[in-house]
Amino acid sequence: MASPFSIFRKNQKLMLALLTLLAMFGFVFLPAILEGMGGRTIQNPVVVHTKQFGDLNEHDLQTLVRQKRQVLSALTVVLQSLNVPANMAQQWLESQLGSGTEESVATMWLLSQVAKQQGVVIDDEAVNTFLQALTQNRVKADRFLVAFRQAGLSEVQFFAVMRDNLAAVRLETIFRYSMAGVTPSQRWDYFLRFKQTAAIEAVALPVADFTGKVEKPSEAELKEFFEKYKEQYALPGSPEPGFREPKKVALQWFKADFDKFIAAVTDKEVRERYEKNKELYTEKNEADVSASEAGKPVDQAPESGKKESLKKNEATPKDGSSGHGKADAKDPKGASSGHPASPFRLTAMLQEKTDASEAKPGAAKSSAGEQEKSKAGKSTTNDQEKPAPPMVQATRDRIRREIAFEKIEKAFAALRGQMSQYRTELSQYKAASLQAQDKDGKNGASRLPSPPAKLDFAKLAKDHGLAAGESGLVSQWQLQSLEVGRSLVGGREPIVSYAFQSLTNFQSEESMDLNGIYLFWKTDESKEQVLKFSNPGVQDAVLREWKMVKARPLAFQAAEKLAAEANKAKKPLKQAFADRPDLSVLTPPTFSWMTSGAVAFGSAPNAARISEVAGVSMPGNEFMAAVFRLTPKQAGAAMNAPKTTAYVIRLDELTPSQRVLWEQFTVDDFGKYAPAAQAGQQQIMRSWLNEVKSSAGFEWKRQPDQQQEESGSRHGD
């Protein structure tokens, strides 16, 4: 058989010519062909560019987003084990670690790179310290492991993400310390914002009433206005316009009101239940129920000094690696870069508390003797005791609740069956409609089946003693303003996130709030989109916003004029404008500039917020500043936060007196009213963050996807 080399030598000129042609093809024509086929290749473009720290491509960013959301999910589960509601836990975690949006995650990544550059080091001990503070040292390590598994995280991944996030937080904290100084004058101002209250009269002048006085702009002006705000959402409470269409969903629901169902349970029903199940309502069982309803923690208090280590699923290799394989060690770009992959070390979050009998050797015998005496005494007493009353009030209340919940579940079961049947019939109708189409694409209209009849929620609700409601297509923040929008699915997930992320159309689900249970489904949804100026209806919407913005000064000037009239008359607004039936005078209850209330677990520093004023739509700092600058019996003018309404304000009085306030100020802890400084500090923090981004050359190569969220989350801007 001839050698391959002999064949090559014999035809070497021809083969060399062919190789030359192939090389030319590869260098000249192949790139152009591959570029033309770009739509069929896997795309992984750069989405975040920085001059100092390199780039994040699409894969890097999505990996960071996924891991951040997994960490937040795991920590939410941990806080739930401490009876913290899921929505409160999630809000607090996002306020501390940032949210799971692309914008927030990319910003935290940048800050972690800056922190490492400046020598900020976060080790596993620092992560454990954070977890202990987070849970107040009341959660065992194995509970953390369960939460990690539920979130789809390994221990190594969790610690890697936390090291980077805490490095970013540490950098922010260092800057916050630099602006921590507060003068006595500032402290007094913050104190007054919480402690001083105002009684006012007010007259609302809607800006919309003045748009008719605004001249119509040219098409060029409208286009310029649209281009400026087309990427922004029209956020509630913000004066900035926005024309970006958020994702929307439409919900329908039934609501079972707890109080109504409990009140509808008759004494006869309670008596019959008790007589049939007396053994369930004994004194012992009642004590057990009372203890469980008191919300006692599942875990007992810790024993001082003891610590617990996590049991590994796999032995740690001798080389000190994680033992979780290469996949875990390969983090996205910048994730703990330069940090050796250390074994996962989670310090025990909880140590068992020693029983009194174990702590004191003689305690067991003493306790036993006392128990014998107690038994003997109880036996003697019981011989002389009269029979206990058949039912105490606590038992009656418990039985009423049980019967009420059973009735609610029975009603919901019947409704779920009808909703499920409708969903099945709708699916069959859609399938039959497709089959009825001719092969050539023509629609066989004569053969189309009839769609199933829609459920009459109002009638069904009335038949079962429920209430019914529907939202129409609403954004996430619009849903939050509805009663159903403040409920939780499965006692954990806010409906505002579940409906937008997980729920499919016509899938029935339940949610609950403090007042009732909801049975709901999603009937429609629309995608988020950036509109074009040529889209139907867009020009009309832009014109409305243009006029609203231009009419604001007109409304404010009218409010100032009315305030001047009231000051000249030296009368309350009701008397000064008694001959003006077009002006409605509000007299809200007294209020302070700022207030605090029930907030997420551990988040007292973030509890400060603008107080609500009855009848005033979204009062903001501008409105409050105008109120508390006035002297008693003086009138002035102010706009609300979104600048949709101008108000004439007359201050009646400020309470308590300056003497009382000063005496309290001299003894009060500054920590009680320090949150009032938060707004100013947030503005400084935003300016600092913008400077950090500018110095690093941070630049988005595309518009980041921003999940709709409440304001207050770290880096959610």
pLDDT tens-place string over residues 231-265: 888 888 899 999 999 999 999 999 999 999 999 99
Q: What is the pLDDT at residue 201? A: 97
Share of the chain above pLDDT 90, in %: 47
Indicate the helix (H) or strand (E) that contains 687: helix 678-696
Q: What is the pLDDT at residue 661? A: 93
Give yes or no for a contact between 553 and 239, defined as CB atoms under 8 angstroms apart: no
Identify the CA nearest to 471 among candidates 252, 235, 247: 252
The CA-CA-CA angle for residues 365, 368, 372, to 5°, reads 140
Mean pLDDT along residues 519-540: 93
Would you mind telling me the total number of residues written for the chain in this entry? 717
Q: What is the CA radius of gyration of the chain?
A: 33
Q: What is the pLDDT at residue 511? A: 92
Q: What is the pLDDT at residue 87? A: 67
Q: What is the pLDDT at residue 593? A: 94
Tokens of 564: 């001047």
Give yes or no for a contact between 216 and 544, defined as CB atoms under 8 angstroms apart: no
Residue 525's φ and ψ, nearest 5 degrees, are: -155, 155
pLDDT in tens, 696-706: 999 998 878 65
Distance CA 456, CA 710 (A): 33
Distance CA 266, CA 70 (A): 48
> What are the residues facing 57 on neighbouring strands?
46
Identify the CA nearest to 57 among candidates 97, 99, 106: 106
Identify the CA nearest to 150 among candidates 63, 54, 81, 51: 81
Give yes or no for a contact between 286 and 337, defined as CB atoms under 8 angstroms apart: no
Distance CA 427, CA 455 (A): 15
> How far, in whole angstroms, is CA 390 from its chain's centroid?
48
Cβ neighbours for 284, distance < 8 A, ≥ 6 positions apart: none
- Give the other-Cβ count within 10 Å of 158's Cβ: 24
Cβ neighbours for 357, distance < 8 A, ≥ 6 positions apart: 363, 364, 367
Q: What is the pLDDT at residue 679? A: 62
Give yes or no for a contact between 661 and 675, defined as CB atoms under 8 angstroms apart: no
Give yes or no for a contact between 132 and 124, defined as CB atoms under 8 angstroms apart: no
Mean pLDDT along residues 469-474: 95
Distance CA 338, CA 126 (A): 17
CA atoms within 13 A on the CB side of 271: 3
- Give the other-Cβ count within 10 Å of 378's Cβ: 11
Tell me the residue ranges of DSSP E strands in 386-465.
Answer: none
Distance CA 560, CA 558 (A): 5
Tokens of 74: 């795991």
Q: Which of 125-129, 547-551, 633-637 has the lowest mean pLDDT?
A: 125-129
pLDDT of 304 higher than 70: no
Q: What is the pLDDT at residue 442? A: 56
Indicate the helix (H) or strand (E) that contains 516: strand 516-526
User: Could you tell me the sign of the dihedral formed by the alpha carbons of 679, 684, 687, 688, in that order?
Assistant: negative
Tokens of 508: 């029935």
> What are the residues facing 591 on neighbouring strands?
198
- Give the other-Cβ count within 10 Å of 207's Cβ: 23
pLDDT of 107 higher than 70: yes
How does 681-698 read in b/e, with b if 16+ C-beta sit within 10 Å? Answer: eeeebeeebeebbeebeb
Q: How confident is the prediction for the chain on average, in pLDDT?
A: 79
pLDDT of 351 higher than 50: no
pLDDT in tens, 148-159: 998 898 989 999
Mean pLDDT along residues 24-37: 52
Residue 151's φ and ψ, nearest 5 degrees, are: -85, -5
Q: What is the pLDDT at residue 636? A: 97
Question: Higher-confidence residue: 370 or 521?
Answer: 521
Reduced to 3 states (helix: H, G, I; strand: E, B; else coil), residue 106 is helix
Tokens of 633: 């019996």
Mean pLDDT along residues 301-309: 38
pLDDT band at 481 (very low <50, low <70, confident <90, very high): confident
Tokens of 287: 């004590």
pLDDT band at 193 (very low <50, low <70, confident <90, very high): very high
Cβ neighbours for 672, distance < 8 A, ≥ 6 positions apart: 194
Q: What is the pLDDT at residue 715? A: 53
Distance CA 197, CA 614 (A): 14
Q: What is the pLDDT at residue 683? A: 72
Q: What is the pLDDT at residue 698? A: 93
Q: Which of 166-180, 231-245, 499-513 has the lowest mean pLDDT?
A: 166-180
pTM across the whole model: 0.58
pLDDT of 585 higher than 70: yes
Question: Higher-confidence residue: 714 or 566?
Answer: 566
Mean pLDDT along residues 278-293: 54
User: Could you tell me the sign of the dihedral formed by the alpha carbons of 700, 703, 707, 713, in that order?
Assistant: positive
295: left (phi over 0), alpha (psi -120 to 50) or beta: left
